[in-house]
Structure formats: C-alpha cells, structure tokens
Amino acid sequence: MSLTVQYLAEQLNLPLDQLIHQLNRAGIQKEWKSDTELSEEELTQFQHAMQTKKATTPKEEHVKKEQYEEELNEKDKKSLEYMDFVIRQSEVIFIDTSALLQPSSEAFLKRLNFYLEKHTKKLILPYRVYEELNKHYNNKKNPDLAKLAEKALKYLVKLQRNSYLDIFGDKSLDNFADNVFTMQITRLRVTHAVLLITNDINLGQDILQLNESKSVRGKRAFVQKVDRFGFFQRVRAEGETVPNQQPPQHHEKKDTYKVDKFKLATEITAVSNQSMRVTKVAEEGNYVRTGSNERVHLRKELGSGGEGNVYATDDQQVVAKIYKKEKVTVEKYEKLKLMVSKPIRKEGICYPIDILYNENDEFIGYTMPKAAGKELKHFLFIPKKVFENRHPNWTRKDLVKLSLTILDKVDYLHKRNIILGDINPFNILVVSPEEVYLVDVDSYQVEGFPCPVGTDNYTAPEIQGKNFPQFLRTFGNEYFAVATLLFSILFLGKSPYSQTGGETNADNIKSMDFPYTYGQEERAENTPKGQWRYIWSNLPYKVKEAFYQTFQKGQPHATEAKRLSTADWIQVMNRYYRDLDSGRLIKQDEIANDIFPSRFKMIGESKKSLQDCSICGQSHQKWQLTKGICRSCLYKGEEYGCTRCGKEMIFTNFEKHVKNMKKGFEHCKDCNAHYNSTFKHIHCNDCGTHFSLTYRDKEFYDKRGYNYPKRCLDCRRSNKQTTHTTTQRTRDYTHTETPPRKEKSSRWCFLSTVACEYYGLPDDCYELETLRVYRDNWLRAEVDGVPLIEQYYEEAPAIVSFIKQSERYGEICETMMHQYIQPCIEFIENKEYEQCKHLYIEMFNDLKQQTIQGE
C-alpha cells in the first residue's frame, strides 16, 4: 500500500509543507513533491513517530516552557508574547547575517528555536548568509566577530538537525544577500505572509517598501530586528511614527507609546543642585548595588573623565559609571531616577539602566549599556589623506547610511520627548555605518532637567551665547543641531557656516549667512574653495534644498518653529540613500558616490566637455587639465632623494610631462640655500675690496682643482682680453668688429636675474656672471649675436613683468633654473657654446609664448 504526500496531507487536514516537516522529523528524508509516494514501511514509521510525540510532547513542552520562562523577568515575558505572536502569524521566515551577529543573538536563537518548534515553522537561510558567517568565523583580524559567527553557526547546525532550518541557494548565484531577500520576498509575498529578521535597517525598510507596491497585490511583509536583550523589535517603514511592538490581542498595551513618553516641561525643575553625602566612593574591585538590590561587581576601569570613572561589570554588555564625590548632587540623583522610570531600550543608546548605591545606601552612579567605537570627530572629521588611508573602501553611500543610523537613534529619543541638547561629534561613537553609540546620555534634557552643556557650532542662532543650565531647549533648537550634524557628516567635518573670509562660526550662525548657493543664484564669493564646492555641487537637489532652507536666513525652514524635524531628515536621507543604492544618481554622473568628488556635478550635454586625466583616469572638465593631467596629479610623481642630504623630493608630473624635464632638481631647497650661502670673504689683491665666494663657487673650483680667485670679478674682467674677431661675408667686403665692454648691471640678464632672485642669489653670483661673460665674449662675436641680444633687450622686460605678477611665479622660476639656466652653465663650462645659445633661445621663446597667452 502506498499514498502520495498530497493525499495524506488532505486526509490529515494539514498544509503540505507542515506534513513534509513532520515527515522529516520522523526520519523520512526525500526530495519531496506533491506526488511523492510513501511506502507502507514509511507510513508505519510516520504513524509510530506521531503516536510517540502525542504521548510525550504535552508534558515535555510544559516543562520546557516552564523552565524557559523561569529564566526571564516579568518585563521580558511581554516581549516573549510578542515574539510568539510574530512567529505564529508568519508563513515564511528569513534571517540575515546582521541579525545573527549581535551580542544577544545566542539568547535570541534559543527563543526562536522554542517558537519554531511550537508553531511547526521553519527558518530559511540564504546560502550567501551562510557563506558570510563562515567568512566572519575565519576572520583572524576580528576575534570578537569570529566568536559571534562561531556561536551562530553552531546553533544553526542544531536548528538544521531538528529540521527547523533550510539553507537554499547556490554559491554560483545570488552575489549579494540583500538582493536575494528582495528578489525572494517579492516573489513569495504574493501568496505568503513573509517575515524578515534583520538588523540592517536600510534593508528592512526596502522590504517594507514592497508593501506599497501598486502593481503587485499580495500579503504584507514584516521586518523584525534583534534587540540587545535578544527579543524582537519591530522595524518600521519610512514615515511610520507609532510603533506596534505588541500583538494586537493584548489590549492593555494599546497606549504603550504614550506611556513611554516623558512630559514636555516649560519650566526648569526646582530641585536643588547641592551636593549629597558620600562617605565612600566605590573603586575597581568593589561591589555596589542597584535599586532592586542586585549586586554589581566593578571590574576593570575602562576610562575616566571630568565627572567620574567607568568600570566593566560581570555583564559584558553593561558598564557602571561612578561619579566623583564632588559631582554627586541632588539634581543629578532626581534626574536619573526620572530617566530610569521609563523603559528606554534602543541599541546604540547608552541610556541609564539602574541607579547604583554604595554599601551605605548612598547614590554614587548608574549602569548603562557598553559602548564601542571611535569618536565621530576622530573617525570621520579628519584630513582627506588620513581618511583615505583609514577608510579606503568608503563611499558617499556609507556617509548617508551613517547619517541614517544616527538619525534613527535621535528620532527614537525625540519620540519620547528626550532632547539630546549637546549634539556634537565627541559624544557619538562610530564602529561602522550601521553601528553607532550615543554616549554622555545623562546630560540629555528630560522634562524640567536641562542639558547643562553645549557646543557653539551646533547651537541654534536664537540660543547662541545663552547660559545652558538656565533654560530648557526646544525641539526647534535641537533640529538645528541635527541639521548641522548631517551637513558635517556629508562634508567630513566642515561646518555649514565655515566660509572664506567672514567672522567666527558663532557670528556666522547668528547672522545665518550660509555660504553655499542653491537654485539659480550666482556663485557666492565666500563659498569655501576646493573640495567643499565640489561636494555641495554633487549633492542631490532635495538635499541641497533642505540644507539651504534650514541654514539661510529668510528661508522656509530657517526659524525655530519651522525647522525640519528628525523624521523629515530621515525621509530626505532615505531618498538620497535609495538613489545612490539603485544607481540612479551614478547614472547621471559617475562621481555621485565619491567621498571627495573631483569636479562640479555634470549631467546631460555638459558631460561632453569632460576628459579623463591621463594619470588617474578620473573625468574633469577639459579646461581643468594641463596637457591631459588634472591638478591633483600634476604635483604628484616619482620620489627620489636630494643628492647632498638624501631628503625626499618629488619629480612631479608637471616637471616630467608639462615641462618635459628629464630628471628632477638635484638639490632640495635647504641644500640649494646652502650652496648659495657665503663660504668665505676674500680681499682683492688689485682694488682692495672684499668679495664673496659661495659654497657653489667652492665646489666649482674644488672639482676642477683650481685655486680660489685672489681678485674680484671686475678686476679679473678688466684684465681679460675681450676683443674677438668676427668675419661677416658680404658680396664685396670683410668686416671686423670689437665690441665694447658693458658695465656690470642686472638689467643685462633680465630673465636669469628673476630666477636667481627667487633663489636668493646675489647679482654677482656665479650663474649670472658666467652668463654675462658668455654673452659679452662669445655671443656678441657670432653672426646673429647682436640682433639676438637687441631683440632680447627689447622684449625681456615685458616677460619679466609677467613672471613677477604670475600666480605661478615660483613654479616658473624653478623651471627656468632647473631646465634651462643650470644646463646652460654646464654647456659653457664644457665650451659647448652653440648648445647653450639654442637652449637659452628655447627658454626665451617658451616664456614669451606664456606671456602672450597670459598663462
């Protein structure tokens, strides 16, 4: 006798998938289809397994459930009821990597196992998630992550062994786990209620967005995350404001959201700020107790600050803050009592859990969740080169995701009427774009207790200069700080009011003079130059609009009452993230996802004027390139050492490709200055004056084995035969001329003098004197010598004027010295006079052309 699985399911009134699950548990393993047949032996085996389960399950489940619930307090039992409800209503359950790598994942998986068994459900794990877990398990650089992955894998094996887990997919398919979830849930929600368990909020919101599809009708998809206690926490769709964390049948939880809120106060509390009696301050190794008499062991000191010290406890996820004796006040105590009266539980918010007392029942501190990561100021707000070294794989999408992670936590607090007050990059710790911790939470404004501190750059214009402990901030004040924080993240630390010229940031905030333009405005003169303009240009229209209307005086959201809320910013940034993630912005302009864009945004026809840099390959407007090289690459190049001191120098791409130099300068600037400094002063034997000999002169004479001169240059010149014969052939005569000696004057070496002045060389330096002697004694004797010199005298002054006024003055002088003057000196020393003439003429023509073009 044999039956098909479909027939048996109909007879037992069971869904086909549940029957197959029961058959697997009974040890009958096959590749199941609806028409798969069961043999008589298999039917007997299944019948026996079902009878055994009926006989034992009720008692076992009762004991198991009883033991399970004994481990939980009353508060957490409500969370279990919610978990029970979620699993019961779900027909297909997916889980992703982020949910399996939480510190509380082990406790969560135990609870999940219980409810999967209770409701005969299965967990579905994409192969890519399994692959990612194995990758993290083998990550030797991050042992903590490897340990979490190991625990998750062990428990997944247990679930699979008990037939509560299916791994599907193929390593040759589904390159990204997120794509797998989106694709499969889109397909399955047509006929099934799908649950996704993920701690990736952006993925979760993408899945929830499927519920809004008008083209595909189906059942709703649900998303839950694993909170730090190992329970479900509902992920809400973008724009959804009221959470529904409890199953609908629990009517007593209907007003949970309202109960969790603090009151909005209009006056400061009258509680005294006087000191409280503390006879003993707890230290490392001591035991303290909570208000419910639970002992807390203060282990290793983790850090100290102005208010007190932070200690590890036996709970690895919880730390204790112990105040210094003089910091324990009545106001602080009453504020903390108020704060812990509400169940504020949100991953990444280090909110007080319990108040701590010493052995004499005196208030000394509180416990809070443990934080991790680096201060936002030192994680993100760092110089460009440092950022690129530390975070080489970051893109603008990561900045937006980081913004959303922070906004999610701030919004959670705002919905409970908690105002952070002192928002700044020092009290936000960052591990990754998805993992962020808010610290110094005890300073937050709650009801009538103000936040006593603040930071100028994040303080709204209407409260600039006020005494923070003496007033209560409004949400309007806070929204200015939120907008400033978002701007600073997208601009890697740049303040929205930082500008070229102008006053201090505080003054600029008061006047609300926002330096970035929007819409059809002309470019502002005070807009910060360089990369900041490029970042602003490449932001999406809606993001620029939100910033401009918030920071510019007279705009729709520039006043306290009209500013965009945290929820509004979540919508703006979510749209920005989706447009980056989908590739829409990158299709418009390929640099849209760059952390540091290299040019202004260009779309449509304007992109035709782009050209790739021949060095880095990035696209730029053609006018920004010099011989096909972008500005940032021009001054990069090959590293080498100074021939004298070995100091690192760079043979730049400008020198190599633009000026066509064959090699870099021999000496660094310090060594060059040394060569041009005075070696010794010599008394002239003829005229009695003193003249100087530089170290460069010294090297010249030493290298050739010459004695140092005993007469000054003028006396040496006057004693030198300067008459040279030049034969000029014409039709009927031969002409001989003797040129007169010119007086020593800097004007006769116009161009060379400019370069020598740049290097601090005197007018009678070796280079200039050598060139003058060459000009007067050899060049004048050449057939074309006199016309060349006359042309030079006529045109050189204009070239000199151009060089001295040029922004590239130093660059031009260095090129002249290295590429032309020094090689000319070498030609003269080697008596290669013709080569010297041609090279000097090349320099003259090059500079003349630059002068004409205004380059």
Q: What is the pLDDT of residue 260?
A: 74
Say yes or no to pLDDT of 613 above 70. yes
**Tokens 């034997």 sit at which residue?**
685
Q: What is the pLDDT of residue 228?
A: 84
Q: What is the pLDDT of residue 604?
A: 65
Which residues have C-beta within 8 Å of that of residue 642, sequence separation ≥ 6?
Answer: 649, 666, 667, 668, 671
Q: What is the pLDDT of residue 790?
A: 86
Q: Which has more pLDDT, 172 or 508?
A: 508
Q: What is the pLDDT of residue 17?
A: 67
Separation CA 256–CA 249 (nearest Å):
14
Least confident of 53-67, 406-420, 812-826: 53-67
Domains of the chain: 3-224 (3.40.50.1010), 287-370 (3.30.200.20), 375-588 (1.10.510.10), 604-633 (no CATH), 635-671 (no CATH), 721-853 (no CATH)
Q: What is the pLDDT of residue 764?
A: 78
Q: Highest mean pLDDT range out of 16-30, 51-65, 105-119, 760-774? A: 105-119
Q: Which has more pLDDT, 282 or 717?
A: 282
Beta-bridge mates of residue 480: none
Q: How far is CA 806 from the centre of its chain?
A: 37
Q: What proportion of the chain, given as a percentage, has pLDDT over 90?
A: 38
Quick one: which of 552, 562, 480 has its CA closest to 521? 552
Say yes or no to pLDDT of 175 above 50. no
Going by DSSP bridges, is the β-strand pair 287-290/301-304 parallel, antiparallel, or unpaired?
unpaired
Locate 771 and state its tokens.
Answer: 């060139």
Q: What is the pLDDT of residue 622?
A: 76
Q: What is the pLDDT of residue 339?
A: 94
Quick one: which of 303, 304, 301 has its CA closest to 313? 301
Q: What confidence tens digit (pLDDT) does each residue in 347-389 have?
A: 999 999 999 999 999 999 999 999 999 999 999 999 998 999 9
CB burial of 79-100 (b: ≥16 within 10 Å; e: otherwise) equals bbebbbbbbeebebbbbbbbbb
Q: Which has more pLDDT, 689 or 162?
A: 689
Q: What sections of 600-743 are H helices per DSSP?
A: 631-634, 653, 669-675, 695-704, 713-718
Mean pLDDT within 15-19:
70
Q: What is the pLDDT of residue 452?
A: 94
Q: Is the pTM of this model over 0.85?
A: no
Say yes or no to pLDDT of 744 above 50. no
Distances (CA, A) of 303 to 123, 299, 368, 372, 662: 42, 12, 14, 12, 57
Q: Highest mean pLDDT range out of 120-129, 516-525, 575-584? A: 575-584
Separation CA 573–CA 594 (nearest Å):
16
Say yes or no to pLDDT of 803 above 60. yes
Mean pLDDT within 447-470:
94
What is the helix (H) or strand (E) element at residue 543, kind and residue range?
Answer: helix 541-551
Going by DSSP bridges, is the β-strand pair 221-226/194-197 parallel, antiparallel, or unpaired?
parallel
Locate 311 and state its tokens.
Answer: 């200690």
Mean pLDDT within 794-807:
87
- DSSP string across 750-800: HHHHHHHHHTT--TT-HHHHHHHHHHHHTGGGSTTHHHHHHHHHHHHHHHH
Separation CA 368–CA 318 (nearest Å):
6
Q: Which has more pLDDT, 2 or 101?
A: 101
Mean pLDDT within 679-690:
89
Q: Where are the beta strands (DSSP E) in 291-433?
A: 295-297, 301-304, 308-312, 318-323, 354-357, 363-369, 374-375, 418-419, 428-432
Separation CA 124–CA 17 (nearest Å):
13
* Mean pLDDT, all residues of the chain: 83
Separation CA 171–CA 175 (nearest Å):
8
Amino acid occupying residue 252: E
Q: What proportion of the chain, given as a percentage, has pLDDT over 70?
A: 85
* Contacts of the segment 553-558: beta carbons below 8 A, 24+ positions apart: 553/511, 553/512, 553/513, 553/514, 558/512
Say yes or no to pLDDT of 252 above 80. no
Residues constituting the chain? 855
Q: Which has more pLDDT, 293 or 170?
A: 293
Q: What confidence tens digit (pLDDT) does each residue in 264-308 have?
A: 999 999 888 899 999 998 999 999 999 888 899 999 999 988 889
What is the Cβ-side half-sphere exposure of residue 737, based on CA atoms within 13 angstroms? 15
| Cβ-contact 515, 500 below 8 angstroms | yes
What is the helix (H) or strand (E) element at residue 729, kind and residue range?
Answer: strand 728-729
**pLDDT band at residue 731, thresholds of 50, 70 and 90?**
very low
Separation CA 344–CA 361 (nearest Å):
25
Q: Which has more pLDDT, 616 or 670?
A: 670
Distances (CA, A) of 786 to 148, 717, 773, 777, 789: 86, 21, 15, 12, 5
Q: How far is CA 4 from the centre of its chain?
A: 59
For residue 829, report the phi and psi dihedrals to the nearest 5 degrees: -60, -35
Q: What is the pLDDT of residue 608?
A: 67
Least confident of 499-513, 679-693, 790-804: 499-513
Q: What is the pLDDT of residue 783?
A: 82
Q: What is the pLDDT of residue 547?
A: 96
Q: What is the pLDDT of residue 749?
A: 59
Quick one: which of 351, 81, 11, 75 has its CA closest to 232? 81
Exposed, middle or buried: residue 109 (CB in 10 Å: 0-12, 13-18, 19+)? buried
Mean pLDDT within 635-645:
91
Q: How far is CA 501 from the centre of its chain?
A: 27
Mean pLDDT within 626-639:
87
What is the Cβ-side half-sphere exposure of residue 518, based on CA atoms within 13 angstroms? 18
| Cβ-contact 414, 576 below 8 angstroms | no
**Tokens 């903390």 sit at which residue?**
336
Q: What is the pLDDT of residue 356?
A: 95
The total of other beta-carbon atoms located within 10 Å of residue 291's CB is 13
**Tokens 């864009």 sit at which residue?**
597
Q: Which has more pLDDT, 504 or 298?
A: 298
Going by DSSP bridges, is the β-strand pair 123-126/92-95 parallel, antiparallel, or unpaired?
parallel
Mean pLDDT within 504-517:
88
Q: Which has more pLDDT, 533 or 3?
A: 533
Q: Highest mean pLDDT range out of 37-51, 125-139, 695-709? A: 125-139
Say yes or no to pLDDT of 217 above 70. no
**pLDDT band at residue 8, thresholds of 50, 70 and 90?**
confident
Tell me the angle at which helices 785-805 and 833-853 cross, rounded to the nearest 10 degrees: 40
Mean pLDDT within 818-826:
89
Mean pLDDT within 75-100:
88
Tell me the angle at which helices 396-414 and 201-209 cross, rounded to the nearest 10 degrees: 80
Phi-psi group of 512: left, alpha or beta (phi > 0 → left; psi -120 to 50 → alpha; rest → beta): left
| Cβ-contact 79, 231 below 8 angstroms | yes
Q: Which has more pLDDT, 233 or 215?
A: 233
The total of other beta-carbon atoms located within 10 Å of residue 664's CB is 19
Separation CA 664–CA 257 (nearest Å):
70
| Cβ-contact 25, 45 below 8 angstroms | no
Distances (CA, A) of 311 to 12, 283, 370, 602: 59, 9, 10, 53
Least confident of 169-178, 601-610, 843-852: 169-178
Separation CA 480–CA 792 (nearest Å):
64
Separation CA 54–CA 739 (nearest Å):
126
Separation CA 36–CA 136 (nearest Å):
39
Exposed, middle or buried: residue 120 (CB in 10 Å: 0-12, 13-18, 19+)? middle
Mean pLDDT within 646-670:
89
- CA 656, 657, 661, 665 torsion: positive or negative? negative
Least confident of 469-478, 558-567, 746-755: 746-755
Q: How far is CA 460 from the centre of its chain?
A: 25
Say yes or no to pLDDT of 60 above 80. no
